[in-house]
Amino acid sequence: MTENTTTTERVAIVTGGSRGIGRETAGRLGRDGYAVVVTYSGSPAEADQAVKEVEQAGGRAIAVQADVADENAVKALFDRAEETFGGVDVVVHAAGIMPLSPLSDLDLDVFDQVIRTNLRGTFVVDQQAARRVRSGGAIINLSSSLTRLARPGYSAYAASKGGVEAITLILARELRGRDITVNAVAPGPTATAMFFDGKPQELVDRIAAEPPLERLGQPEDIAEIVHFLAGPARWINGQVIYANGGSAA
């Protein structure tokens, strides 16, 4: 893993960067020449592979383990990004968990874990981002189209992501005058390990057939939107972009 210091390239922190949408996003930013801090919670091997993919795409990268809901760990994450690459320009907060259960059956300890990781995690990461992202930068949170699709079994997850959207819209307005955009991307069903976990093929096929485009989203579909918000899309601010292939709300 590369650990040279520079102050000329744009630098991105991608939480949840070792898997799924986060990993694809890290690689896409690598193609744009970013230095990327791949943030992960559990698997060093997956994080190291994500780092290699960023480097192969043309960027530089390091992997840093952090609990996104722990304010000290997140502060240390931003410290590491600044020490290694000279600053932070883009924060993509893609880390999250998605246990499924009808509301009446969900263990409240699991609910608390969802809120801690998905909602508190967003607040903690965005708090550091608001303090430390440089002028001209972008903060991009990952929400979910489930806040609108209202699919049974997702009450805890959708509730946490509704909070993510509220944080996003308010923070965009709180950063008035800073030249920092704050947006959320709300994917629909996307072909990641988290989506496939525990679903029978019949259900996967039924969900894939719902949007007019008649397929699941792919991680690269979402990564392209993040790339746009991270760089060219300077006039998009304080928005939630529902990226679901046209699934009905």
Read off the tokens for 42. Answer: 């559990």
Instruction: Tell me if 59 sits within 8 A of 35, measured CB to CB.
Output: yes
Residue pair 147/165 in contact by the 8 Å Cβ criterion: yes
CA dihedral 18, 19, 25, 30 (to 10 degrees): 40
Contact 11, 38 (CB under 8 A): no
| Dist CA 51 CA 81 (whole Å) | 14
For the question of residue 154 being annotated catalytic, the response is no
Find where tokens 């997140």 sit. Answer: 74
Active-site residue, from 34, 40, 154, 157: 157
Alpha carbons 57 and 167: distance in angstroms, whole number: 32
Question: In angstroms, what is the C-alpha Rg of the chain?
Answer: 17
Which residues are part of the catalytic machinery? 157
